Structure 1
């Protein structure tokens, strides 16, 4: 009975998957969108089992008698208290639901022989361990009467009101997620609406929360047709932790637009996930994505960033081909506009035979083309040769000597033609001889290291003075990418 769309009074979510990620900037109306879906479908209890988790989750993860009474006496109480951005006593309700999860699991254990007969499976391994995988300094344990927190350093009990807000947040969210899965009704469409579950969580913890959701879907995969988790988030770590799952689709919510069309997580998202997945480090270093065609380019720019000692702030993102590079440019442009106020990213293509063909920027992605055939051609510029202790004339002599000493090498003639060329094969493919250039000059460094070090050593003066490496890379590229954050 898989439902592929969910309609509210105004909100409309289409092409639903098991995990549905809704992204958008502050003020785009994501919370209102989810609440509209919940309010419009909760009363249709013949078709839906739907639950909304509000973004501001107050209270302490400790069972409260008044909360338990309210839940027991009024089936709509929990829904009504969470129908707003800020939910009071949220975590006390979560603690109550987690206790109920234990009861539900034990009933399932008693009724399911394949679980009962597996000695590795019990409430502690199947449920409690999933909560504790989110915790670093404490653990949630089964006490004599109720669950209790204990310090991992000395094993001493800790009062629920003494644990950190992030730990409290993680335990409450995990409890809600586990309760949702253990109360699945296979005769209905079960929908969990998570409104900004990343609030108050460290980026690494956000990513682990994503893995918990995937783990629960794996456990309940036989009921996948009746499960949908819909979450709104600003969190790149959370999105990227979910990106590899086959369950995931992604959509963006814009202001005054109430239809969100979901699309399956793409190869582009998986490629760019390492960059978008670490916003804490990026916010500190102000890195920008640099989309590159191949692994050679990636190694060169990684070396350049290291050599520059933080001056070159780029995060290489590997496309793998020209076609994939184009798709990544489009994907990153859309995602960056959704997430950030003043985003910027870069994309660099090989020159190939198109050096003189103009290439336009597609904001916020700035696009460039090398002013030579490929990145290895930069190895023959004066700055790179100087790093290997040579000049062009020195290389010519060394290449001829190397050819004489290695007459049977299949690349000997190409190396000789390179040495005899007038333009250093600037616009020709030299992939077959790039390692021989280093070998002829008795340079022990890989060619990627040489080029990367030369790029990382460029100065602003090189932009105005005659510099062959700047010419091969392109003045605009050097100015925008290498000196982007240099006054």
Structure 2
């Protein structure tokens, strides 16, 4: 990613916070601003915004209003400096109306055409919003009033106003639309510098949605070449941003007294610490909710969303590759000190099916965190199970493989491997490097494959081929034994 337009800044403090400016060095592509209440995070972001209002966008922390289009707000959304003027305080009473109205400004800048050769493709915006809120289908239009349509994916019920959404859904939808429309307008205009300052995006958002928002934000920043700063109190959001952006992220511990502030890179040690502090994760086992330690971003995307369907409860902690072994050891030691007379494991460390599950012994205890193995090669293989295919495209494997073979010639150097689909063993085939093509072929809405897998796993206790690919040990660990 590495979209860094500013590395060092001096920001004038408000008079009540002291006479010297904040001097910040080593800004990252994504900087997470941490600090106590009263440390000046919001005023720091606004003062930073005021240095370059034409290419900086600030999102206020208190966001209210209804999701409706108001033509009288069009002029205020036309220019960056006028948009900046809307965020002079911590709150904006008609924030949501401003954002919905900006959709029309976006179409005025781009034209109401759907071709991906032009920057700011509306299909990309819709896909990213649907990934952020997979329970909804979201469509944008430059010719309709309002210039959007939102439907619940489960029953196609239209969302007409704010009362049809939870507070968290409303926040995520409008903040996501705010970020995307400004990013797309900048892309259409060819802005050289693009700085996005987001003040407490986690407000009113459940930790699971914060994880999805972090994934969304990192993807948008990479696609639209944004440098981002986020003010937050949430360790969940901190952990998730660090997980998805890695060392592209840094932490700024803001102090109202200190003048010199240095960004601390989000290295693997901070990632481990943040994962353990990530919202409610470590509290889960103390209240009977198990942990699930997973390796890799895609596994994290899947398993962090499964509990949202309210059929099973666990808290997910991400690790990367071989780090899962060290995480397991550290958590084993931690819970040995915290848990007494434990009746069973506090959680599980999930390994891909191509790895051997370690045997518990004195040197490698698994009293509190037990290793379990996936029943298939990797998480990608779950996408081709009968149950996930039924949800994704309503096809059997015979129909899906025929579709893959038919369209294989479209995909260049991957065509030969895709054309061999009929010989694949769905359980063991290595699908890394082919998921984008499989989504394009199999999913008419091109929803990210991890969301399809998470929903299928989460809707009910896995059965059939999905249960086989997950593996009996994993299904039993999380859902318990099959009732007699």
For this structure pair, what is the TM-score category when the shorter chain's length is used for normalisation? 0.5 to 0.7
State the match for 2:360 in structure 1.
446
**Could you tell me which of 204, 209, 220 is aligned with 2:208?**
204
State the match for 1:189 in structure 2.
193
Q: For each residue in 1:248-268, what CA deviation from the matched residue of structure 2 results, as whole angstroms up to 9, or x when unmatched?
A: 122111232354321321111
Cα 1:164–1:293 change in 2 (3 A) is closer
State the match for 1:95 in structure 2.
100
State the match for 1:261 in structure 2.
262
Cα 1:450–1:79 change in 2 (3 A) is closer
C-alpha distance in 2 between matches for 1:454 and 1:11: 45
The answer to whether structure 1 residue 175 and structure 2 residue 177 are counterparts is yes
The answer to whether structure 1 residue 33 and structure 2 residue 32 are counterparts is no
State the match for 1:367 in structure 2.
none
Cα 1:147–1:186 change in 2 (3 A) is closer
Q: For each residue in 1:108-161, what CA deviation from the matched residue of structure 2 results, as whole angstroms up to 9, or x when unmatched?
A: 966x74x69xxxx9523x111211222254332347543122122211212222
State the match for 1:86 in structure 2.
91
State the match for 1:139 in structure 2.
137
C-alpha distance in 2 between matches for 1:454 and 1:313: 5
**Could you tell me which of 70, 76, 86 is aligned with 1:64?**
70
CA shift, 1:99, in A, is 3.5
C-alpha distance in 1 between matches for 2:235 and 2:348: 15
* Unaligned ranges ≥5, structure 1: 317-434, 436-444, 456-487
Q: For each residue in 1:244-293, what CA deviation from the matched residue of structure 2 results, as whole angstroms up to 9, or x when unmatched?
A: 42421221112323543213211112223431223366389489x9x999
Given the two structures, how large is their TM-score scaled by the length of structure 1? 0.54
Secondary structure of residue in 1 paired with 2:283: helix
Q: For each residue in 1:401-451, what CA deviation from the matched residue of structure 2 results, as whole angstroms up to 9, or x when unmatched?
A: xxxxxxxxxxxxxxxxxxxxxxxxxxxxxxxxxx9xxxxxxxxx8325996
State the match for 1:238 in structure 2.
237
Alpha carbon RMSD of aligned pairs, Å?
4.2
CA shift, 1:217, in A, is 2.8
State the match for 1:2 in structure 2.
5
C-alpha distance in 1 between matches for 2:241 and 2:215: 7
The 8 Å contact of residues 196 and 233 in structure 1, kept in 2 or not, is answered as: yes
The 8 Å contact of residues 345 and 368 in structure 2, kept in 1 or not, is answered as: no
The 8 Å contact of residues 171 and 204 in structure 2, kept in 1 or not, is answered as: yes
CA shift, 1:187, in A, is 5.6
Given the two structures, how large is their TM-score scaled by the length of structure 2? 0.54
Secondary structure of residue in 2 paired with 1:59: coil
Secondary structure of residue in 2 paired with 1:447: coil
* Unaligned ranges ≥5, structure 2: 13-20, 290-316, 318-322, 350-357, 370-484
State the match for 2:166 in structure 1.
164
The 8 Å contact of residues 101 and 178 in structure 1, kept in 2 or not, is answered as: no
Q: Which has the larger radius of gyration?
A: 1
C-alpha distance in 2 between matches for 1:150 and 1:31: 34
C-alpha distance in 2 between matches for 1:207 and 1:214: 11
Cα 1:108–1:256 change in 2 (3 A) is farther
Cα 1:122–1:216 change in 2 (3 A) is same
Cα 1:35–1:283 change in 2 (3 A) is farther
C-alpha distance in 2 between matches for 1:138 and 1:20: 30
Cα 1:189–1:451 change in 2 (3 A) is closer
State the match for 1:335 in structure 2.
none
Cα 1:193–1:265 change in 2 (3 A) is same
C-alpha distance in 2 between matches for 1:95 and 1:123: 14
CA shift, 1:294, in A, is 4.9
The 8 Å contact of residues 347 and 368 in structure 2, kept in 1 or not, is answered as: no
Secondary structure of residue in 1 paired with 2:162: helix
